Amino acid sequence: MGRLGAVVVLVALLAGCGGSAARANTGAPQPTYRQLRLMRGDRPLLTTIWSPADDHRHPVVLFSHGLGGLPAQFAPIAATWVAAGFAVVAPAYPHTNGKVKVDAHDVRNQPADAEFVLRSLAEDPHLDLGHVTAVGFSAGGTTTLGLLHPGHLPGLRAAVSIAGRRPPAKFGGTPVPVLFLHGDQDPTVPIAAGRAAFAALPWPAKTFVTIPGGRHGGYLNPGNPDYPRAQATILAFLRAPDAKV
């Protein structure tokens, strides 16, 4: 890890990840929760990791938040992925997270941040980095699509863009299955932008799922009437990305 220039500090290792996530995971063991402080040059990347409470290696969900977001806001849905046997790795991007003045132009730098985070975790015994699905919401969806570039990480096996836009970088590399999820009443990232990203992706294994009446990500929140469908659609894809959603 030293050769990558990463500064790693263990901030917390707890038995559970807090009230909201625990409630979303009723009846299942609470996930472990860690935070690592990573640095890519002058870019701090406080990274949250949720994982099943056992000693096995688990496939990874790399989660990217949107503008002004934080990983903790997505703890309930992340808990459903952990309950299904995935570890969730969620960096807080340095210039777009909810604790800084947001610079939307910095989204173009986030795919490299995400790749750095994964490389920094290469020796973690609980993470199977040969089986990574990238998932992102809004600007995080754009970040996720930005990972699908020529020469992308070999462990990247699938991707999910939720209300994302087409990234600035070109698509390329080994094709992987990609799921697009978008509300047709989204006032922040219009569904036309999501469809344009879908159309630009030249790979055959891609699926676009519309949430009728869905606005900007409300369907990711437990209690929203569209949450069960959205959560089940994403989870089904995580489990079998090559199957028809």
Counting residues of the chain whose pLDDT is more than 90, the rounded percentage is 85
* CB-based contact 143:110 (threshold 8 Å): yes
SS3 call for 120: helix
Q: What is the pLDDT of residues 67-85, one digit of tens each?
A: 999 999 999 999 999 999 9
For residue 110, which of 73, 84, 80, 137 has the smallest C-alpha distance? 137
What pLDDT does residue 48 have?
98
What pLDDT does residue 16 have?
31
Q: What is the pLDDT of residues 160-187, one digit of tens each?
A: 999 999 999 999 999 999 999 999 999 9
Give mean pLDDT, residues 26-32: 63
The β-bridge relationship of strands 156-162 and 178-183 is parallel
Q: How confident is the model at residue 243 (pLDDT cuts 50, 70, 90)?
A: confident
Compute, in degrees rounded to 10, the torsion defined by CA atoms 203, 219, 113, 55. Answer: -100
What pLDDT does residue 242 have?
85
CA atoms within 13 A on the CB side of 5: 9
> Which of 3 and 86 is assigned the larger pLDDT?
86
* Residue 117 CA: distances (Å) to CA of 130, 153, 170, 238, 239: 14, 12, 21, 20, 23
At 37, give phi and psi (nearest 5°): -95, 110
Q: How confident is the model at residue 245 (pLDDT cuts 50, 70, 90)?
A: low
Q: In angstroms, rounded to a whole number, what is the distance separating the alpha carbons of residues 167 and 147? A: 9
* CB-based contact 144:134 (threshold 8 Å): yes
In order of their start, the domains of the chain are 2-239 (3.40.50.1820)
pLDDT over 50 (residue 19) = no
Q: What is the pLDDT of residues 118-148, one digit of tens each?
A: 999 999 999 999 999 999 999 999 999 999 9
Type and span of the H or E element at 162: strand 156-162
Q: What is the pLDDT of residues 43-56, one digit of tens each?
A: 999 999 999 999 99
pLDDT over 80 (residue 7) = no
* Residue 142 CA: distances (Å) to CA of 1, 111, 122, 159: 27, 9, 24, 11
